[in-house]
Amino acid sequence: MTNIVFWFFVIMTITAALMVVLSKNLIYAAIALLVTFLGVAAMYVFLWADFIAGTQVMIYIGGILILLLFGIMLTHKITSVRISHTNVQRGVGALIVAAIFVGLVWMINFTPWLKVTTQEPLQTVHSIGTLLMTDFLLPFEVASVLLLGALIGAAVLARKET
Amino acid sequence: MTIDNIIQWFQSWFPVNVMVLFITSVLIAAVVIFAIMAVNALVAVYAERKISAFMQDRVGPMGQGPGLHAGKWGLLQTIADTIKLILKEDIIPKAADKKLFIIAPFIIFLGAFIALAAMPFGPYLIASDMNIGIFYILAVSSFGVIGIILAAWSSDNKWSLYGGMRSAAQIISYEIPAALSLVSVLLLTSTLSMQGIIQSQAGTVWGFLPNWNIFNNPFSFLAFFIYFIAGVAETNRTPFDIPEAESELVAGFHTEYSGMRWAFFFLSEYGNMLVVCGLTVVAFLGGWQSPIAGVMEGAWWGLFWFLTKLTATIFIMIWFRWTFPRLRVDQLMNVAWKILLPIALFNLFGVAIWTLLVG
């Protein structure tokens, strides 16, 4: 049964991802992106990473996608300017995409992956928290300083000129 | 009854395919949650109209009631309204983006609907008691914002668009103090599971008060008020109803909607009240725990206590609506960013130090 559900989500994610790229209408692309994010969250659930799945929904759907929609909403239709995708430099694009694809496939096949327990963990949040506060404290702090910088930058940009 | 329980129970009676069982169990849970939302909307709309009437020295709906002629106290008013809404013509404006216009109400509805999947209505009544329950509810609530933005944009109406933008800005802003005050509760309970949070609030504090998080320490007492204020803002209700603001924006993001689709907006507004009030009850008011420890406990009493607390908090929301005037847009943002957010941050530190020192 898990297989059927898994493949359902795989097909859903890939179809939606294709729609993001191929849709001529930006806002439809944004909605397809919503489905893609959901599909990725479902993949995390299959990996027993429930907390990461929740974070995916909260940050990507609850934050980034809303900002995207906000941006599109303020530009399209109200000022009667049609905004849509236009593809330029297809040849070069295809080349770069093919290179990335080959690189990814190579990386996936030749990396000595760490394969551990196949037992479903009882809870994940506790161990994530402990690890963030001990072994990975420095990356965690660096990420928070980066976010703080982005926040201050946004506040400065949004400030009224005096 | 979690979905897993239903599957196990079915399996002991009918040895059928687990896939079929899974789908049936999920459907059963979905129907129950939908019924809860519908009944909640029916009762709450009636209560809202009656309470507002009494607060304004009117009598409220009196016509539709059981009986042949004008029945008792307009008890069936909401049902009459529902029938009217179902029979109404479904109008889609010519300039609207049809596909998005049609799905937007359902996306908003989805936000409240799937959030209720992790809501514990009693010691055994929860569709799915996941490890990250409270985090899950916070995460899926963001569907509501997306639905509102889509409804606003696809209507191709300036009032709608203004409403949608205000609403998105408001909900995103108020999510932060709300989440921070919930986090300060999580410091006390040290679990994200909804049932775990409730179970950690058993017993008494100082011998007579129930050990609910609101009474646990002064900081969590403050956190309750921050969460509740931010929660009211997240449901777009007065005094935070600037997305609808009928005196400025006609009806905000649902200006162009009519009939059943419009009814879905209302169903999800009351569903969101249910989610926010439910979270308040679970995180601060002990969920299904009895107010007097050891008295009147058990599965059915748990359901009774949860529903009682839920009704009380929903009543307070209705009370708010008919007591306070609407805030202006800039006042609204000031309240969120300059008042609630600093208090919530201070509170989080306070609870952390309290947990460290007192335990």
Query: Could you tell me if B232 lies within 8 Å of chain A, comparing CB atoms?
Result: no
**Angle made by CA atoms B260, B265, B268, in degrees to the nearest 5:** 120
The backbone torsions φ and ψ at residue B160, rounded to the nearest 5 degrees and listed phi first, read: -60, -45
Q: What was the ipTM of the complex prediction? A: 0.79
Residue B237 to residues A43, A92, B278, B320, Cα–Cα distance (Å):
36, 52, 16, 9
pLDDT for the residue A98 = 94
**In the A/B pair of chains, how many CB contacts fall below 8 A?**
73
Q: Tens digit of pLDDT for each residue in A105-119?
A: 999 888 887 777 677
Q: Tens digit of pLDDT for each residue in B272-322?
A: 889 999 999 998 888 888 877 777 777 788 888 888 989 999 999 888 888
Residue B293 to residues B17, B198, B206, B299, Cα–Cα distance (Å):
43, 13, 12, 15
Domain over A2-87 is classified CATH 1.20.120.1200: yes
For chain A, give every domain's residue range. 2-87, 123-162
State what percent of residues in chain B have pLDDT above 90. Answer: 4
pLDDT for the residue A132 = 87
Q: How far, in Å, CA of B248 to CA of B269, rounded?
A: 20
Q: Contact B266/B95 with Cβ under 8 angstroms? A: no
Q: For residue B212, what are the contacts with CB-CB under 8 A and spacing of at least 6?
A: B201, B284, B285, B286, B289
Contact A73 B146 (CB under 8 A): no
Out of B138, B156, B165, closest to residue A58 by CB: B138
Mean pLDDT value of segment B127-143: 85
Half-sphere exposure of residue B11: CA atoms within 13 angstroms, side-chain side: 11
pTM of the model: 0.84
Residues of chain A predicted below pLDDT 70: 1-2, 75-87, 117, 161-162
Query: Could you tell me if B145 lies within 8 Å of chain A, comparing CB atoms?
Result: yes
Integer-rounded Cα Rg, in Å, for chain B is: 21
Q: Contact B265/B254 with Cβ under 8 angstroms? A: yes
Smallest Cα–Cα separation from B340: which of B213, B175, B204? Answer: B175
pLDDT for the residue B359 = 65
Q: What's the mean pLDDT when you consider all of chain B?
A: 83
Task: Fill in the DSSP letter of residue B204.
Answer: E
- Residue B210 three-state SS: strand
Instruction: Place B91 in a pLDDT band, splitting at 50, 70 and 90.
Output: confident
The backbone torsions φ and ψ at residue B251, rounded to the nearest 5 degrees and listed phi first, read: -145, 20
Torsional class of B46: left (φ above 0), alpha (ψ -120 to 50), beta (otherwise): alpha
Candidates A33, A38, A40, A70: best to mutate against B (most CBs of B within 10 A) is A70
pLDDT for the residue B22 = 76
Q: How far, in Å, CA of B176 to CA of B171, rounded?
A: 9
- For residues B225 and B169, which has the higher predicted lDDT (pLDDT)? B225
Q: How far, in Å, CA of B159 to CA of B104, rounded?
A: 17
Q: How far, in Å, CA of B7 to CA of B10, rounded?
A: 5
* Residue of chain B nearest A54, judged by CA positions: B136
- Residue B44 three-state SS: helix
Residue B310 to residues A9, B197, B237, B289, B334, Cα–Cα distance (Å):
36, 16, 17, 13, 29
Q: Tens digit of pLDDT for each residue in A48-66?
A: 888 888 888 888 888 888 8
Q: Chain A residues with CB-CB distance to B under 8 A?
A: 1, 4, 27-28, 31, 34, 50-51, 54-55, 57-58, 61-63, 65-66, 69-70, 72-74, 77-78, 122-125
Task: Fill in the DSSP letter of residue B303.
Answer: H
Q: What are A25's strand-pairing partners?
A: A84
Q: Is the pLDDT of residue B352 over 50?
A: yes
Q: How many residues does chain B have?
A: 359
- Residue B205 three-state SS: strand
Q: A62 CA to chain B: closest CA distance, Å?
A: 5
Q: Contact B145/B208 with Cβ under 8 angstroms? A: no
Mean pLDDT value of segment B212-225: 85
Contacts of A122 in chain B (CB under 8 A): 131
Out of A57, A74, A124, closest to residue B140 by CB: A57
**Angle made by CA atoms A124, A125, A130, in degrees to the nearest 5:** 105
Q: How far, in Å, CA of B259 to CA of B87, rounded?
A: 7
pLDDT for the residue A79 = 46
- Residue B358 three-state SS: coil
